[in-house]
Amino acid sequence: MTILLLGSGGREHALAWKMLQSPKCSSLFVAPGNAGTATIAKNIALNPNDFAAVKAFVLQEKVEMVVVGPEDPLVLGVYDFFKNDAEIRHIPVIGPSKKGAQLEGSKEFAKEFLVKHNIPTAQYESFTKETVEEGCLFLETLTAPFVLKANGLAAGKGVLILNDLEEAKTELRSMLVDAKFGLASSKVVIEEFLDGIELSCFVLTDGKSYKVLPTAKDYKRIGEGDTGLNTGGMGAISPVPFANAVLLEKIETRIIKPTIVGLQKDGIEYKGFVFIGLINVKGEPMVIEYNVRMGDPETEVVLPRLKSDLVEIFEAIANQELEKITLDIDERAATTIVVVSGGYPEEYEKGKEIFGLENITDSIPFHAGTKIDNGKVVSNGGRVIAVTSFGADFQEAIKKSYQSIEKLQFDKMYFRKDIGKDL
DSSP string, 184-252: GGSEEEEE----SEEEEEEEEE-SS-EEEPPPBEE--EEETTTEEEE-S-SEEEES-TT--HHHHHHII
pLDDT of 380: 97
pLDDT of 145: 94
pLDDT of 156: 64
pLDDT average, residue stretch 370-391 = 97
Sign of CA dihedral 68, 70, 73, 74: positive
Burial class (CB in 10 A: 0-12, 13-18, 19+), 380: buried
Residue 157 has pLDDT above 70, yes or no: no
Give the right CATH number for 123-191 from 3.30.1490.20, 3.30.465.10, 3.20.20.140, 3.30.43.10: 3.30.1490.20
Sign of CA dihedral 285, 289, 290, 296: negative
Report pTM. 0.93
pLDDT of 259: 98
Residue 38 has pLDDT above 90, yes or no: yes
CA angle at residue 188 from 268 to 299, to 5 degrees?
Answer: 55
Residue 35 has pLDDT above 70, yes or no: yes
Residues 253, 245: contact at Cβ < 8 Å?
no
Confidence class of residue 423 from pLDDT cuts 50, 70 and 90? Answer: confident
Please choose, from the candidates 394, 414, 213, 199, the residue with its C-alpha nearest in 3D space to the C-alpha of residue 299: 213
CA angle at residue 242 from 237 to 248, to 5 degrees?
Answer: 100
Q: How many CA atoms lie within 13 A of 375 on its CB side?
A: 0
Residue 101 has pLDDT above 70, yes or no: yes
pLDDT of 230: 87
Confidence class of residue 154 from pLDDT cuts 50, 70 and 90? Answer: confident
Bridge pairing between strands 27-32 and 2-7:
parallel
Residue 415 has pLDDT above 80, yes or no: yes
pLDDT of 142: 92
> Which helix (H) or strand (E) is 112 found in, with range?
helix 107-116
Q: Is 137 helix (H, G, I), strand (E, B) or coil?
A: helix
pLDDT of 356: 98
pLDDT of 159: 87
Domain ranges of the chain: 2-97, 123-191
Cα-Cα end-to-end distance for the chain: 42
pLDDT of 182: 82
Give percent of the chain with pLDDT exceeding 70: 99
Q: How many CA atoms lie within 13 A of 122 on its CB side?
A: 25
Give the right CATH number for 2-97 from 3.40.30.10, 3.40.50.20, 2.60.40.10, 2.40.10.340: 3.40.50.20
Q: What is the CA radius of gyration of the chain?
A: 21
pLDDT of 152: 86
d(CA 251, CA 233): 23
